[in-house]
Amino acid sequence: MTNVYDNILGLIGNTPLIKLNQVTKDIPATVYAKLESYNPGHSTKDRIALHIIESAEKKGLLKPDSVVVETTSGNTGFSLAMVCIIKGYKCILAVSDKTKPEKIAYLKALGATVFVCPANVAADDPRSYYEVAKRIASETPNSIYINQYFNELNIDAHYQTTGPEIWEQTQGKITHLVACTGTGGTLTGSAKYLKEQNPDIQIIGVDADGSILKTYHETGKIDKTQIHPYQIEGMGKNLIPSALLFEKVDRFIKVNDEMSAYRTREIALKEAIMGGYTTGAAVQGLIQYTNINPLKETDVVVVIFPDHGSRYITKVYSDKWMAEQGFVNNCFHNYEEVFKTEIIK
């Protein structure tokens, strides 16, 4: 029998590449999106959730009544909660208050216990979602802390799966890999594999305006003056994750909330791909990169689209939310014409 699985975890990985035709029409290269929303948990984080938990099982760290604890902006939490249901573990998650209510509802629907923590505090503040998750794990018997930001298995999951998939799907023709960086595991785990196949492949990390990752890559120093609140979830950081292999990244591009939001909406309108906020950020990063480093017709670019837009319906896909942010002067569309809603009375 084909396409038959013992449980939903069998669907993780082997996500498709889709050629982008409209949003990248001014780029001479061939550009593909790797749609990680095709994972059963609708994001690339399914890969690390399964890999880390199964590695812990092999080491005897998990028992039938074990508790899995993690810090998450949403996607890792969804994936862990999904894996825990199938594996029979309890899941406790710490999220930031940037996380929209529907994401929290989704996590709870999957049986997770959720702690909401302030986003705009230092990473080492006891109220931060990093520190809250650590405390819960230390106080909870028979628990493990996933610690995706500092877990080498985060890198290894993508080294073993995402990187090889991209290499095979492009028949080794890939010249550029573009992805947003949060923990860094997706981009640099994939990059580690791809660089082994061809060290000339250019790895471009996309960072958020308000994050320290780009400057740290360029200077080796943490510049706390660059830290400020921003809206894009799941990318950028106010700490330096060890799961981000900076030596594998050739260049970082920093993008802002507004242009990333517009680009997310444009991808839906022109490519019919409902991607998350970081999908727009990744494409915006590619466009900014090509303004500095023009690409050739022979170049083959893969942009990782990390998750599905259904998780952002009341955020970047909401006209009301966009207007509240002041995002109304769309550079490639007339905002009111494209996003208007006709009400018949």
Catalytic residues: 45
Answer for the pair 29, 295: CB distance below 8 angstroms, yes or no.
yes
Answer for the pair 268, 233: CB distance below 8 angstroms, yes or no.
no
Answer for the pair 155, 185: CB distance below 8 angstroms, yes or no.
yes
Answer for the pair 280, 267: CB distance below 8 angstroms, yes or no.
yes
Q: CA-to-CA distance for 342 and 345, rounded, in angstroms?
A: 10
Helix (H/G/I), strand (E/B), else coil: 106 = helix
List 301's β-bridge partners, or say none. 31, 176
What are the angstrom distances between the C-alpha of 123 and each of 214, 239, 242, 244? 18, 7, 14, 17
Q: Which residue from 212, 221, 226 is spatially nearest to 184, judged by alpha carbons?
A: 212
